[in-house]
Structure 1
């Protein structure tokens, strides 16, 4: 469908469909393709959840958007009592959206809840380093670590939003998922699962933290699965904010005078992962996985498909992350070498497999085409994220393409600790990798951490448990009436947006 056809469809619907009025009605309408089924952010892992989390909730600490330094948010200060003990002084006078007072009980309850394996939160790596939390007094808490973990503050900035203890005890995840309550600059006023949620400015938001009070009164986040119709919504002024557009869509919108397109570098990476634990699959053999690595033209994907300055990825982590090591093992695009490896593995005619996918379908299609040329016949198995992740951890996909923005965490530990080290999504379970990650996570020196992560990365890439593809450039499109600056962590901080 062309842009003009999408616009025509939207114009035809405009008279029959009620809409907010953008700047005139002080309402920012965001259109994206994610279907939120719950708003309890501990129970979904899609990166869009970080946007909801950051606008509706607060953590103990945050990062200064200009300097990158850690600063207090719900905590006003902290100190390391030892390499495994952090003491926090909490901010007084903060209220949750339902009127509950914030204090140490909320911090203790939240952390105790999310680190309890019986509660089965999805982002377990965010709190797996915590041993215990204790209340010292009403506005002081102590977090004890299982072992030294230098990225502790980084994880607390994004991965541990604080919930109101009384409300969560009463309603549980089902209630929080429908009617969220936080302390943040915006509060949720309505939610239609799979369709939209509406945020209203929290006029009582506290001062003194890192987040300013929101300037736009209302934000409507609406699901639109048809990306062409999504573009039409922006063109007909029924939306003011799109993101995760394909490069082609961004190119088409860039010529429209009422629209501003921005291509933003991110921490997001695309990769292939293999189930190395299924002895019945040809992909359980390292030489077959190496054949796949030589078959995929990663440079062409970066240059011709992602564009916008995208680079071929050669590391497990994002290159901008702290302690991300330089690559030591790489695979040049070499179809002849791929065929040679398949022949040596006893597969001269290749083989058939499925390839899972959940986003950036055009990348998966390019990979399928490259594999076809060396005799690997891969059929796409496309899933929404929740089903995709479920198949991932249950080891039901032999090969898949995915991407991650690492939940905005600017430390390499999130890459290695989420996908390897015997985490639920680790499909290699390699003790050499696990031991190297354990050493890295317990080392304070950035130089030493980087060395241990390199040991893990070299093993991962040598065995091709993971094939890095490309660093993703995020394509945004905005109404020119909107003043908004994207950030590399892909968190859309609506409270920093304003009308021109």
Structure 2
């Protein structure tokens, strides 16, 4: 259906170009000097995760930083990291005991004073940390109970408190942001980071490279374990074909965000190993069921919305365009997320049923509507083409994300091609709070039943009750066809044949788990 074409020719050209650039036999330099070289597309302007959400900086931060808690990459469960243990005293009180022997890269020991300082800094609106507002929404204050214990006082019950401590708050030494003349300096950790992670920064050239060296005093009891590789270097290489050429020539050992077909083609050459695994990103299309763009909008009719889902050949889009380990989804969340009910109304690809539903709704000849998109043009065009086959004429408006966001706030968008990554969080709450609040301009359904259940689930720590609430909401969303659920994404990697890299379930690279394969006997 969408096999080959311009996209396939471009990918083939990239593969051919990078192989042409390789004029030498791949070397074993990485394993020989115990240095893992990572190719990334973007620039790393800061080392401080507290002040950025850039994906590559987060990947570096997984190596240089630890929070109180950690997401186990195999189970996606939250486990103590720099914390030794915690106790949920009541719905709004959490006591945390700090793990003994945790050291900062400057050699000092982590204590309760450092934890209190870190969280106070994060939630202080004057410091303007990236996640400060999010944390301050639920955290009232942190109290020092003793040299190695703290108490978190929450403003209200919040089931994702441990998640936020794991993902959003990396520990800083008390006074870390103290600038000259006694004034606080939010940039103090941007270029020279003093973290507690398994690697320390030994060289940083902003926008070019970061060199990390294994921290030999990293605490032995860490769930992350002791890293096997001594040195890791991140190199910014914006061009995809150049990254691949460097990989197959032995100058790079690991790269990610590789298009699935390119990764498969390079892997088939034997120059590198193609790995693939899931991420928590999904794609979907919210539909203006509430009539925000006009009461006469055809999308306000359930049969029309259902017809649109039946009309789109989601299996073929996944097979030929998205590829990799991507899968069609039926619910308004990722199947790996807690609370993501799968027993919902499902819509098979059925153009005949789509036409029947359109006629029933009063549109036997179809209708025309604006379909907004800002990414993955080829997929958006394929969706529009499928809709056209049953008489639904989508006028594709391909714009920037900023333009789309502005238009949606003004209620000018009847349907849009959306994507959501959930911050690598395996919990439906990360979608619920953004897309189904009655206050959110992303919520084109404006269904009070759904909004109330999503909001209630976000304010109870009872897992069974949360699951029940999400189930009711997600079943309603599917029954009413408020979204066109599309597919999950996969993450594709190319790695050196000498490197063993355990692929995570959530798509967040954890390179401290990598190790060199045993050398083959000659």
Change (3 A) 1:447 1:261: same
List per-residue Cα deviations over 1:432-458 (Å, max 9, x = no partner).
333212221233443321221123324
Q: 1:2 to 1:10 in 2, by over 3 A?
A: same
Aligned to 2:313: 297
CA distance in 2, matches of 1:342, 1:176: 62
Asked whether the equivalents of residues 405 and 490 of structure 1 are also in contact (C-alpha less than 8 Å), the reply is no
Q: Counterpart of 1:489?
A: 506
Q: CA separation in 2, counterparts of 1:274 and 1:236?
A: 48
1:228 to 232, 238, 241: 241
**Counterpart for residue 375 of structure 1:** 393
Give 3-state SS (helix, strand or coil) of 1:92's partner: coil
Structure 1: gaps spanning 5 or more residues: none
2:143 match: 134
Matched, 1:313 2:329: yes
How far apart are 1:379 and its partner, in Å?
Answer: 3.5
Match of 1:439 among 456, 475, 487: 456
User: Aligned pair in 2 of structure 1 residues 61, 478: CA closer, same or farther (>3 Å)?
Assistant: same
Aligned with 2:496 (options 479, 490, 495):
479
The match for 2:430 is: 414
Aligned partners of 1:248 and 1:130: how far apart in 2? 45
**Residue 205 of structure 1, aligned match among 218, 222, 229:** 218
- Give matches, 1:357-368, under 5 Å: 357=375, 362-368=378-384
State the distance in 1 between where 2:211 and 2:450 align: 44
Q: Distance in 2 between matches of 1:20 and 1:480?
A: 9
Contact 1:154 1:410 in 2 (8 A): no
SS at match of 2:399: strand
Distance in 2 separating the partners of 1:173 and 1:403: 31
Corresponding residue for 1:59? Answer: 67
Please point out which of 15, 18, 35 is paired with 1:6.
18
Q: How many residues matched?
A: 490
Residues in 2 aligned to 1:347 and 1:35: alpha-carbon distance in whole angstroms:
50
Report if the CA contact (8 A) 2:333-2:431 is conserved: yes
Rounded to whole Å, the distance in 1 between the matches of 2:482 and 2:17 is 43
- Give distance in 2, aligned partners of 1:42 and 1:388: 28
Distance 1:364 1:23 in 2: 43
Trace 1:67-86 onto structure 2 (pairs within 5 A).
70-86=78-94
Q: Provide closer, same or farther for how the CA distance between residues 454 and 49 of structure 1 changes in structure 2, counting only shifts above 3 A.
A: farther
Query: Compared with structure 1, are the counterparts of its residues 440 and 138 closer, same or farther at alpha carbon in structure 2 (3 Å cutoff)?
Result: same
2:6 maps to none
1:237 corresponds to which residue?
Answer: 250
Report Cα offsets for 1:143-198 as digits up to 9, x if no partner: 12233334433443333322233112436443433433321011233444444433
Stretches of structure 2 lacking an aligned partner (at least 5 in a row)? 1-12, 518-522
**Pick from 32, 40, 43: which aligns with 2:48?**
40
Equivalent-residue separation in structure 2 for 1:10 and 1:270 (angstroms): 36
Structure 1 length-normalised TM: 0.83
Max Rg structure? 2
The separation in 2 between residues aligned to 1:493 and 1:249, in whole angstroms, is 23
Alignment match, 2:168: 159
> Could you list the per-position Cα deviations for residues 368-402 of structure 1 after superposition, in whole angstroms to 9, with x for gaps in the alignment?
5445553112143356xxx6997699679935444
Aligned to 1:25: 33
Report the CA distance shift for 1:233/1:343 in structure 2 as closer, same or farther (over 3 A): farther
Query: 1:240-259 to 2 correspondence within 5 Å?
Result: 240-259=253-272
Larger deviation, residues 489-498 vs 439-448 = 439-448
* 8 Å CA contact retained: 1:417, 1:423: no
Structure 1 residues 465 and 199: CA distance shift in structure 2, 3 A: farther
Deviation at 1:9, TM superposition (A): 4.0
Give secondary structure in 2 for the equivalent of 1:219. Answer: strand
- Relative to structure 1, the CA distance from residue 320 to residue 38 in structure 2 (aligned partners, 3 Å threshold; closer, same or farther) is same
Q: Is the 8 A contact 2:41 2:239 kept in 1?
A: yes
Looking at structure 1, the residues matched to 187 and 466 of structure 2 have their Cα atoms a distance apart, in angstroms, of 40
Q: Which residue of 2 aligns with 1:322?
A: 338
TM-score, length basis structure 2: 0.80
Report the CA distance between 1:340 and its aligned residue. 3.1
CA distance in 2, matches of 1:117, 1:461: 39
Deviations 1:105-153 (A, max 9, x none): 2222322333345636258556643333212223211012233334433
Q: Any conservation in 2 of the 1:325–1:451 contact (CA below 8 Å)? A: no
**Structure 1 residue 488: deviation in Å?**
0.5
CA contact (8 A) 1:321 1:411 kept: yes
Report how far residue 471 of structure 1 moved.
Answer: 1.9
Find the aligned partners of 1:187 and 1:283 in 2 and give their Cα distance: 57
Gap change, CA 1:139 and 1:424, over 3 Å in 2: farther
Instruction: Quote the offset at 1:210 in angstroms.
Output: 1.0
- Secondary structure of 2:449's counterpart equals helix
Instruction: Compute the displacement of 1:60 (Å).
Output: 1.0
With over 3 angstroms needed to count, the CA separation of the structure-2 counterparts of 1:147 and 1:401, relative to structure 1, is: same
Deviation at 1:266, TM superposition (A): 3.3
Residue 350 of structure 1 is matched in structure 2 by 368
